[in-house]
Structure 1
Amino acid sequence: MKRSDLEQYLGKVVTIKLFDNDVITGELHKTGEEQFKNDPNLYIPQKCYFLINPQSCLFKSSHVKKLKEGR
């Protein structure tokens, strides 16, 4: 998925299917956001994404096969 397409959903609850067919659901965020500056794992890497509530692994936009807004 293109980074520009994925970034339209930042801050929204989404369901994502990754390249390895794992399906994860949560609120989409990008690394480097100010609210995560106290967590170096979520602040320092560049051009990565993750979900919170619950927290997921970091992934790149190219790892996303399918995205659906909502749960």
Structure 2
Amino acid sequence: MKLEQNQIWKQDDLYLRIVHWDRTFIVYKAMKDLATRQGTEQQVSKKEFCRLIKGAVLLTPAEAREAAGLEP
């Protein structure tokens, strides 16, 4: 799987959006609600992020819009 900027992952009731990715680290934002986009940004290594999203689901752009309450 290839990690890319602006991907949104859903893990249980938490959404993780990749804000910035680099060769060595990832900055992601953890949010409870996609509509408000309020959350905390954290920087972790790629290895740590991959462990974090283990078992999570990558949302398609249409699924992300629907989860945010926007039109599909």
TM category (shorter chain) comes to 0.3 to 0.5
Q: Tell me: higher relative CO, structure 1 or 2? Use CA pairs within 8 A at least 6 residues apart.
A: 1
Give 1 or 2: higher helix fraction: 1
Give 1 or 2: higher strand fraction: 2
Pair member with larger Rg = 2
TM-score normalized with structure 1 length: 0.36
